Amino acid sequence: MELWDAYNENEIKVGTDLIRGEKIDEGLLHAVVVIIVYHEDGTYLLMQRDWNKSKFPGLWEAGASGCVLKSESFLEAAKRELLEETGIDSENFKLIYSSINAEMNVFYKVFLCTCNIDKNNIVLQKGETIDFKWTSSKELINFIDSEYFINPSPKELKQYVISNQ
């Protein structure tokens, strides 16, 4: 059983536990971190979701993402998810934006992880990811609008990438 903290629309914990897979009451949100991985050579990491995932199977996403566990900080969750889904162990995180999807009862904290790793050493997480590739800013901007890409806030991601080319 995976537990999450419940938050209000101001991103403040409300003292209620949420359980993965159970209905979330209206007005409550759970937190998800998204980690955009940027290599110092100017490329971004894309990960392909496993075909057996219940949500968005086979689609590509920028970096890693996952739910913030109960009592876990956003930064702790970002570090954990990045390591689990890519094998990248980093301390170099910067919050770049937040967004809320009230219909899905989720708020997102999007971090940038800048790294200088061996690009061939990405580790795929069984049941989560099945492939990876590195892409240029221009390629990522075009890919964001495709039917093969998933991101909770594509408009914000695209604006971020364009302004940081």
Q: Is the pLDDT of residue 135 over 80?
A: yes
128: Cβ–Cβ under 8 A, 6 or more apart, which residues?
A: 49, 50, 53, 84, 85
DSSP designation for 102: G
* pTM of full prediction above 0.85: yes
Q: Which domains does the chain have, with CATH numbers?
A: 3-159 (3.90.79.10)
Q: How confident is the model at residue 95 (pLDDT cuts 50, 70, 90)?
A: very high
pLDDT tier, 59 (very low <50, low <70, confident <90, very high otherwise): very high
Smallest Cα–Cα separation from 6: which of 96, 71, 64?
71
Please name which of 121, 111, 29, 101 lies closest in space to residue 62, comparing C-alpha atoms: 111
Question: Could you give the CA distance from residue 83 to residue 85 in angstroms, rounded to a whole number?
Answer: 6
**21-31 residue pLDDT tens:** 899 988 899 99
Both structure tokens of 124? 């795929």
Residue type, 143: F
Torsion of CA 52, 21, 12, 80, to 10 degrees: -40
Q: How many helices (H) and strands (E) does the chain have?
A: 3, 9
**Residue 30 corresponds to which amino acid?**
H
* Phi, psi for 47 (deg, rounded to 5): -120, 140
Query: For the segment 120-131, what is each residue's pLDDT rounded down to a tens digit?
Result: 999 999 999 999
